[in-house]
Amino acid sequence: MTNRDSRLSNLLHETRQFSPSESFRENANVRDESIYESARQDPEGYWSEQAQNLSWFAPYENVLKWQSPHAEWFSGGKLNAAYNCVDRHRQGPRKNKAAIIWEGEPGDSRVYTYDMLGREVDRAAHMLQDLGVRRGDRVTIYLPMIPELPISLLACAKIGAIHSVVFGGFSSKALRQRIVDADAKVLITADAGWRRGALIALKANADEAVVDTPTETVVVVRRVGAQAGVSMQAGRDVYWHELLVKTPGAPFPAAEMDAEDILFLLYTSGTTGNPKGIVHTTGGYLTVANTSMRTVFDMKDDDIFFCTADIGWVTGHTYIVYGPLSAGATVVMYEGSPDFPGRDRFWDMVEKYGVTILYTAPTSIRTFMKWGAQYPQMHDLRTLRLLGTVGEPINPEAWMWYHEHIGHGRCPIVDTWWQTETGAAIIAPLPGLTVAKPGSATRPVPGIDADVVDEHGQSVAPGHGGYLVIRKPWPSMLRTIWGDDERFRRTYFGQFEGMYVAGDGAHKDADGYVWILGRIDDVINVSGHRIGTMEVESALVSHRAVAEAAVIGRSHDIKGQAITAFVTVKEGIETGDALIAELKQHVTDSIGAMARPEEIIFTAELPKTRSAKIMRRLLRDIAEGRVLGDTTTLADPSVVEALKTQYKESE
């Protein structure tokens, strides 16, 4: 049995169902089931209607032009994402409403009203323009979770420049790779970041990353100050605050972008090769992000929305910045970790700011479960009315704990399935309508034609599993992979004609609910972060001691999956704990701490087929202690016996 099989057999026994309370239902934004049917009959009409919730400088001529695999939505229409997220709210009753409530790790906090946020975005846009940033240029952003991060995104959007955010946990090498691929002329970073009271040396990483790249200017936000001990390179490095004081206080006119102009790139891991620069465009992305706030998150004007993700990942792009701000929400943004200074940190913030909607990841929920219910019990969580989860399949036990100990049985839970590529949540409950089943993301949202199909692309019957696909284009779908349209075509549309293949396995139950089983490619989901096995393998073999490496994901109680690496060393190299530690550090330096293998097993040989393909399936079986499946295709069956013995010894 694989990970996916065991998840499936657990899920098939899951029969609990949860309906929203009468009062939630009565007040929900979406109360009428017919929305599904009308959107199904006319998806373009549905999305066009949703797009009317944005402010357009000029109307679009076409809703959709589709020439598989290329979609254009709302083309000819003119709009600006930053205008939609900030400026339009400054003109009405939301002018002095809190847009971002920011909580910093050492206990400091800042609040930006829409009007204040607008002024900061305009100043940052002037600053970038003065540095030579123009429409269509790429700007890489490598910042901790401080207000300058969303301000940078919005400043790029205001100019019409394309942002590429690189999560602050990535190494200098990973940052460099992304800077080079995007051909970014400006990098925005910070002197350092805070994490559990310790410093993260962002500027030092940036210094290493930008050498011999197209980056001419490094803008440095002073987050930490003298303690960070950074050195500034004359002619290249400039301080954010020093530039800002020189910018005019005048408003920055929003660039009138075409709906199909690129809003951002965001890199994500794939099965093979370098990370892919996922391309999102302005009108379609913003439409679905904005719509989901109303439908999936049932957002009202007085909600306080807390998404615990980092803006370095797509969840933060869509549910800290573009979704909630375009909808005029108040978002809570947190710099630090959930256990600093105490394990009640999230609950403290829920109480302090009166959070009404909380959106977090299964891995965090499992961690809270492990810590115990005494931490949420320390706080008044009665303001919460809706809970969300994202990032990986949620196990029903974690769902139930979330429901009982955080939602006190009162809050619907939206388990939202989506990906960097889909832009926004597209398989998820509508909380006032959907009967939830713990562990299922339930049904595609209105306007999304997702399905589970067999290897011929035929829809599976209820009670069966297969590939998760999306049959029709949707506005927030990725448009291509930056610089590699062929890879885009092959990766997502290579398997079935005209259908988007998500890379996840899924099961469809008798009610048509979708149960996501996990990735079916060589991508590992560690704590909701996507890591390609190939990337970790390449990092390992770049070490002088390593001859060959095979990396797999093993089920893990908290992280969902953990990385196990099987490594063969070169002649004459001594294996042992010292080398294990060195290799783990080497992967951290090459990619980042989230890709650090949990365990490394040295082996004389790796199991291979006669055509020299590494049999990862066998390695997974060994790592998870299962009876081994078919080994007849192995070139040398004795390798497996040796490996099993070695694996047991290493435990």
**Shortest Cβ 76–ligand WT7 spacing (Å):** 30
Q: Which of 504, 535, 537, 621 binds ligand WT7 (CB under 6 A)?
A: 504
In 335-458, beta strands by DSSP E: 357-360, 386-389, 413-415, 450-453
Residue 3 in the binding site for ligand WT7 (CB under 6 A): no
Residue 4 in the binding site for ligand WT7 (CB under 6 A): no
Alpha-carbon distances, residue 223 vs 158, 204, 333, 627 (angstroms): 24, 14, 16, 52
Q: Which of 144, 150, 275, 503 binds ligand WT7 (CB under 6 A)?
A: 503
Window of 400-408, 469-477, 511-519, 573-581 that interacts with ligand WT7 by CB under 6 A: 511-519
**Shortest Cβ 472–ligand WT7 spacing (Å):** 19
Residue whose token pair is 């070695």: 646
- By C-beta, is 215 or 287 nearer to ligand WT7? 287
> How far is it, in rounded angstroms, from Cα 531 to Cα 524?
5
> How far is it, in rounded angstroms, from Cα 35 to Cα 445?
9
| Cis amide linkage into residue 214, ω under 30° from 0 | no
**Shortest Cβ 319–ligand WT7 spacing (Å):** 9
SS (H, E, C) 147-165: CHHHHHHHHHHHHCCEEEE
Q: Which of 145, 220, 448, 516 binds ligand WT7 (CB under 6 A)?
A: 516
For ligand WT7, how many residues bind (rule: CB under 6 A)? Answer: 23
- By C-beta, is 391 or 438 nearer to ligand WT7? 391
In 235-325, beta strands by DSSP E: 237-239, 257-258, 262-268, 276-281, 304-307
> How far is it, in rounded angstroms, from Cα 474 to Cα 463?
26
**Shortest Cβ 14–ligand WT7 spacing (Å):** 14
Alpha-carbon distances, residue 79 vs 84, 116, 158, 417 (angstroms): 8, 22, 10, 28
Q: Which of 401, 417, 482, 513 binds ligand WT7 (CB under 6 A)?
A: 417
Residue 418 in the binding site for ligand WT7 (CB under 6 A): yes
Residue 522 in the binding site for ligand WT7 (CB under 6 A): no
Exposure of 296 in the CB half-sphere (CA atoms within 13 A): 33
Enumerate residues 233-292 that contact ligand WT7 by CB under 6 A.
268
**Shortest Cβ 289–ligand WT7 spacing (Å):** 12
**Beta-bridge mates of residue 508:** 464, 514
Structure tokens at 387: 């809970």
Q: Which of 84, 363, 364, 419 binds ligand WT7 (CB under 6 A)?
A: 419
Window of 175-183, 209-217, 222-230, 522-530 that interacts with ligand WT7 by CB under 6 A: 522-530
Q: Which of 403, 507, 519, 554 binds ligand WT7 (CB under 6 A)?
A: 519
Instruction: Compute how many other C-beta atoms are within 10 angstroms of the C-beta atom of residue 616.
Output: 17
Q: Which of 413, 441, 563, 583 binds ligand WT7 (CB under 6 A)?
A: 441
**Shortest Cβ 432–ligand WT7 spacing (Å):** 19
Residue 416 in the binding site for ligand WT7 (CB under 6 A): yes
Residue 452 in the binding site for ligand WT7 (CB under 6 A): no
- By C-beta, is 204 or 506 nearer to ligand WT7? 506
Q: Which of 3, 215, 217, 315 binds ligand WT7 (CB under 6 A)?
A: 315
SS (H, E, C) 576-596: CHHHHHHHHHHHHHHCEHHHC
Exposure of 245 in the CB half-sphere (CA atoms within 13 A): 4
**Shortest Cβ 358–ligand WT7 spacing (Å):** 15
- By C-beta, is 213 or 491 nearer to ligand WT7? 491
Window of 117-125, 296-304, 500-508, 592-600 that interacts with ligand WT7 by CB under 6 A: 500-508
Q: Which of 28, 121, 133, 314 binds ligand WT7 (CB under 6 A)?
A: 314
**Shortest Cβ 518–ligand WT7 spacing (Å):** 6
Q: Is-contact 214 632, C-beta < 8 A?
A: no
CB burial of 206-234 (b: ≥16 within 10 Å; e: otherwise) equals bbebbeebebebbbbbbbbeeebebeeee
SS (H, E, C) 192-222: CEEECCEEECHHHHHHHHHCCCCCCEEEEEC
Residue 320 in the binding site for ligand WT7 (CB under 6 A): no
Residue 140 in the binding site for ligand WT7 (CB under 6 A): no
Residue 478 in the binding site for ligand WT7 (CB under 6 A): no
- By C-beta, is 448 or 580 nearer to ligand WT7? 448
- By C-beta, is 312 or 607 nearer to ligand WT7? 312
Residue 224 in the binding site for ligand WT7 (CB under 6 A): no
Residue 500 in the binding site for ligand WT7 (CB under 6 A): no
> How far is it, in rounded angstroms, from Cα 609 to Cα 636?
8
Query: Which residue stretches of 42-168 are H helix?
Result: 43-51, 81-82, 88-90, 114-130, 148-159
Which of 553, 561, 233, 284 shows the shortest CA–CA distance to 423?
Answer: 284
- By C-beta, is 288 or 441 nearer to ligand WT7? 441
**Which distant-in-sequence residues (6+ apart) come within 8 Å of 508 by Cβ?**
451, 452, 460, 461, 462, 463, 464, 465, 514, 515
Q: Which of 525, 527, 561, 590 binds ligand WT7 (CB under 6 A)?
A: 525
Structure tokens at 556: 């893990």
Residues found near ligand WT7 in the complex (CB under 6 A): 268, 314-315, 390-393, 415-420, 441, 502-504, 516, 518-519, 525, 528, 530
